[in-house]
A and B are shown apart, each in its own frame.
Chain A
Amino acid sequence: MTTSNATSSTPSSGGGNPLVVLDPTAGKSAADLQPAPRPASLSGLTVGLLDISKPRGSVFLDQIESHLDRLGAKVVRYRKPTFTKPAPVDLRHEIAVNCNAVIEALAD
């Protein structure tokens, strides 16, 4: 019946606090990061457009979206909460899971 806010953290998958683990490796080497294979065409491809939230960027991306749509891609729009920090890890995960390709724009 204590009202302590010192909660015990139970590692959970899905819901609750995100799990933090320690990196068991010596650190990523450049050799590990290879670009994914290129798709043959845009037709049927799910392309994420990630707006980094700088002003004017959304107008640009609206036009890009209409081009990609015309070329047969399925466009999904995303938005970073702020351009001053890296995209939140949950947003990155969602994009990685749902999209075949992602365009991040527009930095200036």
Chain B
Amino acid sequence: MAILGSRVLRVEDPRLLTVGGTYCADVRDRRLDGAVHATYVRSSVAHARVTSVDVAAARILPGVVDVVTGADIDLAPMPGWFNPGMVRTHLACDRVRFVGEPLAVVLTEHPDQGEDAAEAVAVDYEQLPTLTDPMAALTSEVKLFPEVGTNLVCEFGEPAHAGPDALDGCEVVVRRRLVNQRVAACPLEVRSSAAAWVDGRLHVWCSTQNPHAVRDALASLYVVDAGDVAVVAPDVGGGFGAKIDLHPEDLLLPWLARRCGRPVRWVESRSENLLAMVQGRAQVHDVAIGGRRDGTIEAYRLSIVQDAGAYPGMGVYLPMLTRSMAAGTYAIPVVEADARAVVTTTPPVGAYRGAGRPEATAAIERAVDLFSAEVAMDPAEVRRRNLLPRFDEPLTTPTGETYDCGDYPAALERVLAAAGYDELRAEQRRRREQDATLALGIGVSTYVEVTAAPSGGSEFARVEVRPGLDTGAGIDSVDIVVATGSSPHGQGLATAFAMLAADELGVALERVRVLHGDTDAVPRGSGTMGSRSVQLGGSAVRGAALGVIQQARKVAADLLEAAVDDVVHDAAAGTFQVSGTPAVARTWAEVAAAAERDGKPLAADHDFQVSRPTYPFGAHVAVVEVDTETGDVRLVRLVACDDAGRILNPLLAHGQRHGGLAQGAAQALYEQVAFDAHGNPLTATFADYPIVSAAELPSFELVDLETPTRVNALGAKGIGESGTIGSTPAVHNAVCDALAHLGVRHIDMPCTPARVWRAIRETGRMSTSGS
């Protein structure tokens, strides 16, 4: 069966297209009958002592069942990642540290009543100075956690020091501060969860990327056995990393349910989501790149300051990935990277598509372009001269990361050819000679990233083969159930894993059903994040399928009255036969029925384990047009070559690449979470946050490349985040390239019209009238 590698339409689609998905807010379950609705009361200031929270007026409003403040909560607070002293309580108690931080919650019969009641809670604040700039936070007298005494959460590596460094002795050195700005994940489905205690068990529904982690976290927090916690991830409307962590609002629901003796449901508003869901990126980079005039790069240094937001979480771990991937695709002999994470009076930072790796690529790709400009060489040519040559054996970089395999020069050449790079440069020259108002910019990036980071991982699968229940499907029908610990939220894994099982077993795709997102039905799992599910989850499915084939061979041997060793499974025919006598065969249906009669239904578990991550790579070319009079930037073309090893289903892989390309381009051109000097959010609704729409983007041009990995038998690397990682610097470089002839050296992302216009004016080369 040649189904693997072919474009198979999704099994998930019919339901989603006809009745729509059942997202957490849509769940109807008798265990949630009579639920109250939770509405959080949130801080309206960025940094303050909370002197009083008056709930009296709220309590008497219609439908209010209860009002809870931080003082009421008796749950163990959450220690900060890498700095346990930076503690967060589930509801703020005597101090708030970002606008939007929850400090009370009202429970009402209907959600509308919750909005009304939340407004009636009166909070008195004694305001404190705010810190929205991570660089200022490093040295500021203002401390978010006075008991800790510093805003520095943690440090990785040796910080850069004044004086001689690795770049001394280079003919050419460029140093620059770059900002990798904070962005919002913006899944279309906001956060939502529900909790109910039923007969001593805690039942939770949560819009999460990892139901098993939710189960374990709640079991720990509420001091109950994990077996007494049942978590369901219903259909999840996007995660992008931001739904990996549990937020306090989710963690608190079981406590509220216990307190009021009723189930509790919570659905936030988009405004709350933009205030209080973990946000992405937020790194400041000091890059230094040095080499020779002939274009050879000899040394690169990256100093990272990670803005952790108000409470250190996943965001302070991500710079470790940025550091480890700092060398990128290049054969630079000396690469050094260090990182410091610091708290600020802003929302906490977490994982967002790429999670630490886009930052590494953005830094080095911009640095390579700055170096190219300094040595007056074409940036594609500089890359050619410095890329690591093709390698099929593991290769360790100066940062200690061991890449599995890669062919970076092939990716670069393919994307340049597909883009028509030479023609683009010629068109750019023509426009410059004519002093065209619409400047053309061409940006190149090469990237390598790490999936199933930092060190591989494990995933569970079970494959069951049952005689078919649907008699209309024929007497030879079987029903295959695949249970996976992966937790898809748009990736199409039900289709991908059905393909894997169907291929291995030799059954029709339509006979396979994939089960996920229910911790009672699937005993363990690692969830879906970090582009791990095909390589880990898919490998587990394959392993379980092989296991069930072994069981089936034994049953078939009895039916065929042969020795097990003489029984072969013919995947193409979907039968079991005695080796050498294909006419004497048993079908899956016959074997499954026999196994049921024996009281041992065919079912195999597999825990796939691998201790190494994989390293997808690629190269992107972006073409932009910049109106030098208005600063407006239009992305005209985005050409992307992405190599993720062997591709299971190109339909799904291309979809993942498209989504990543859009998010990456959006960061370069439009999106930014912004605050004023007092820490007030300026982008807290979709009317203000410039989430990218179809009107801003072109159709993408994809170039395929497959360099299978040997890390797993599928040959698969991850694909979900690659698009984001390569596109941001390609688009960013394109904008800077468009204006290079006017003397603009760099513009920080996002390259908004205002920034572009200002950068052009600051060179003094164009009059303000633009004529």
Q: Do A and B bind each other?
A: no
Q: Contact residues of B with A, CB < 8 Å?
A: none
